[in-house]
Chains A and B, each alone.
Chain A
């Protein structure tokens, strides 16, 4: 019986020996002659015509043309060549894109990766193992730079079972990959694929239909002229420009709404500082007044009360503040008042970094704390808010705390006569400790006598609690008065990667390999909120300074930075663009910009209000940027990482610099080096292209190398001094 050959695109999980043969023969070869074959067709066609099956008839007519005189189907279409169909089809599209018009190239080139992935996975699912491998190896080189880690994960997939099981493959198969195309580019693509249907166009069309969501993009809104595209092409190394919404979640830039029909308007965020409790505010003001009368401000200095008023007032009016009642806190204590007072004082007396003065970045002071004899067993370093304590979490499951001023860390539980030393071990976890966080504190100095401050802070300002998280999937709360474990929080069911106290204390968040982040309050042993949505491990976590939002960064397969509302427990922003695992996140004190860093050595700045990326800072070597922090004025970002450097970045969204840099590289081929520092943006793409070292973006203010010590933690104090912590590695 003559049957149209079944479309061979979807998973026909058959034995491998079908490879090469394509569809089963349309009729038994060598059976009835040509005549009977034609007769049969005639009969069927008439039957279809009579019944009114017009489309089936047309299909049969069309497909019966492919049968050679002997009734054996001719394999003319690439789509019918089984496992071998992918490679020529992909090559066809790839060549077309690469030799096509430049104006479309930047957009279309973004299609290559998803098409490659889906083609490979299809191929494996259809059990063409060797073809899949050959296909993968043939084209993987193109994506090595941007998608190295994903390639590694995909490379090992060789059986259909693996596709069902591999997390990355599952993510791709279960979701559609979103790519933005302008309507013109889309039209030319469709046209091309239809025209070359027989050469493999249909194969690609199938992939596009089934797995790729093409989001129409308005060329005008992206404001991308041809010249701009040409420039970017040069800079972006021929891989085109990644649309911010590109990827698996498939969302509008910044917006967390993944519903395809959602409007592209962003929800408004309450980014202003949390209003102070009125009682607390009264107390603080009274205390500051007292302080002012005791120590009148030096000439040219604000009085503390003035400074306080200024701090409260300075919020711009266009930002809403989160509702105080939505996030309940325990009533404030005398300690809170003392801390607020100290914050105001430090804020007044700080080393000011108001931005570039005379076009030059500020000079920062960095104190480096180097840990010795660690044998690489230190997993994390943390400094307390009052700079009196430093803690490390080790691979040997314990935590060690030192007092930085050599003070003995005594506990009321010490046996009489026990000589407390300046360090303590906290033992309790049963797996490597990956994250530590001190409860908020500020260094309230001992009342000054005779004009001297002893430098020691009064005991009641010290942090009283510390949180730790570990591979044993627990979080523990430690008392720093008795140096004992108070609470064990169990709920995560995979290693917990990071834990952070809220800037106001009381609440904390944790993130884990179980792909969730959770919100807790210290007195309760069950989480208050689960933040679910990441497609991969949640690697790092950070708070918004007003305590109403949290930021989570994820690893391979997702690589998104997401913003969650603490009160509603849902996503409010998604940021995509990182090419490696996100290793650190930090939000600026002004609450408008968030910085995230990945292990490819890039730092990205995102504007929370518009949901757009504002800057990409390059310069760190590969291997992870372990920590980020902002100056008090939110004008300078500091980062430290595995490349053994501490770097200082200019983060101001400077339009004129950007324009200047672009103008230089676009305007002329020669760069005369007349700009400050002898280079400018253009030099980066020209000279940095061939040299071994990483490209340093012009926003770097300074870079300080340490001596064989990867930097695990950087921290700005309230007075704009940078503290850095690292472990000295002799072998490295």
Chain B
């Protein structure tokens, strides 16, 4: 008895004009059909296995047919698993068929193109560190079933299992980051010394130690934490902020420290010092915070330059936050200053061209308003200077020999004003540097 229904063979025979078929022949044939089909399936499974899949696709079947020297069935190609509908032709006799969608031709032609599927990409994470699986979102949450995976045996490492949360006892040994007495002492001395406003010798000594000491790697997370703490709670004190930044700079300077893993936690603090809203108290001179911003900007650019290649998202992230701050006109001028600096340093000429220049016209309107206000005029000047510096970067980057075809005199000024706004356009024009003007306009054309 074959599983394949002999009636099927009779039906096919009738369809090609063989009306009467011996019953034995029919049975013989149906057995053979069954055999052929299972042969195709075996081959198809082989292709599925080598594609490391668990679902059989129509492609596997056509590959199998090709391997068996049979013409493949065309028209069923699909990389996705097929959807099957179920119909009943009698009690307990389900019939499966491929659901074919009816498509209206008119609609299909007029419909907007479907979304482009997402690109294949990859991410890397630690599946295990020294035998312990870290509990990060990329790893599965340890569940009861993990206990079964845990090993029991003389080769098994029970400590590792315990650390992974896989041990059956469910007791987690406390894991502490053990810091030696000496290191603790070192930290306790260095941290206050750096923040000591009264004794400069202490400070320089502390920084010198941080820049050169080879044995303080274990302390790095503590220093990073320290900086983050100080910056969050002492926005009013320019001194503390500046010292914190110098502490970061000293750590980055130390050749024996491997700072790449800490960069993501350092960057927010530095960014705060760069584009923070209100840095320093009202008693400080109104311009002191610009020095802090300058320092932060250079620190940031150094960081980005060194660690940009290892962290693909670092630069875009910094650039994005700078740009969004620049575009918010209700932010204070200090923030704008920092944002322009940050963008110039991080993104270079390409960034100035694509991120700053297109937005200058809109920003100029804001500048004009501020320039009227005497109390802010001086600060505005700083921002204008920063923008000019950014534009100079463009000038250096400009392709020589492209100067032809630009107007001169009033016409040039008009073009400049049109391109980058009243205040800045005039400034560029007044600088009298043809190449600078050209660089600015060139970008305009390019965009």
A residues with CB within 8 A of B: 129-130, 133, 152-153, 155-159, 161-162, 166, 356, 359-380, 390, 392, 395-396, 400, 402, 404-407, 431-432, 434, 450-452, 454-456, 471, 494-495, 497, 513, 537, 539, 555, 581, 583, 599, 619, 623-624, 626, 642, 645-646, 648, 650, 654, 657, 660-661, 675-681, 683, 691, 693, 696-708, 710, 712, 722, 724, 732
Contact = CB atoms under 8 A, between A and B. Distances in A.
Given A153-B42, A380-B52, A707-B139, A159 B130 contact: no
Nearest to A377: B79
14 contacts: A133-B1, A158-B34, A166-B39, A364-B130, A373-B119, A432-B47, A495-B50, A537-B46, A646-B127, A698-B156, A700-B155, A702-B131, A702-B151, A704-B139
B312 interface: yes
Contact of B124 (A157, A368, A456, A732): A368
Nearest to B30: A158
A624 B52 contact: yes
B150 interface: yes
B80 A379 contact: no
Given A700-B156, A705-B140, A372 B123 contact: yes
B149 A370 contact: no
A358 to B, nearest CB: 10
B265 interface: no
B151 A376 contact: no
Interface string B277-292: 0000000000000000
A513 B44 CA distance: 12
Given A555-B46, A710-B52, A369 B123 contact: yes
B153 A702 contact: no
A153 B38 CA distance: 8
Give the top 7 A-B pairs by smallest Cβ distance, nearest first: A698-B153, A363-B131, A679-B152, A451-B255, A650-B155, A368-B127, A156-B38
A730 to B, nearest CB: 12
A675 B46 contact: no
Nearest to B51: A379
SS class of chain A's interface: helix, strand, loop or mixed? loop
Given A159-B35, A696-B151, A373 B121 contact: yes
Interface in B116-155: 117-133, 138-140, 145-146, 148-155
Contact of A366 (B50, B127, B152, B161): B127
A700 B128 contact: no
Contacts of B139: 704-707
A497 B50 contact: yes
A317 to B, nearest CB: 30
Contacts, number: 249
Interface stretch (B53-61, B183-191, B391-399, B404-412): B53-61
Contact of A365 (B35, B126, B168, B306): B126
B32 to A, nearest CB: 6
Contact of A513 (B46, B140, B154): B46
Which interface class (under 10, 10 to 19, 20 to 34, 35 or more) fits B?
35 or more
B138 A405 contact: no
A644 B150 CA distance: 15
Contacts of B130: 363-365
Contacts of A680: 152-154
A361 B160 CA distance: 9
B153 A697 contact: yes
Contacts of A697: 153
Contacts of B121: 371-373
A372 B119 CA distance: 8
B51 A679 contact: no
Contacts of A360: 155-160
A353 to B, nearest CB: 11
A677 B158 contact: yes
Contact of A450 (B63, B159, B255): B255
B46 A158 contact: no
A699 B50 CA distance: 28
A518 to B, nearest CB: 18
A364 B131 contact: yes
B120 A706 contact: no
Contacts of A432: 47, 50-51, 59, 63
B31 interface: yes
B164 interface: yes
Contacts of B93: none
Contact of B155 (A129, A130, A361, A378): A361
Interface in B79-131: 79-80, 117-131
A2 B60 CA distance: 60
A151 to B, nearest CB: 12
Interface string B43-76: 0001101111111000100010001000000000
B50 A701 contact: no
Given A367-B124, A373-B118, A513-B67, A699 B155 contact: yes
A683 B150 CA distance: 13
A704 B127 CA distance: 7
A379 B133 contact: no
Contacts of B225: none
Nearest to B118: A373
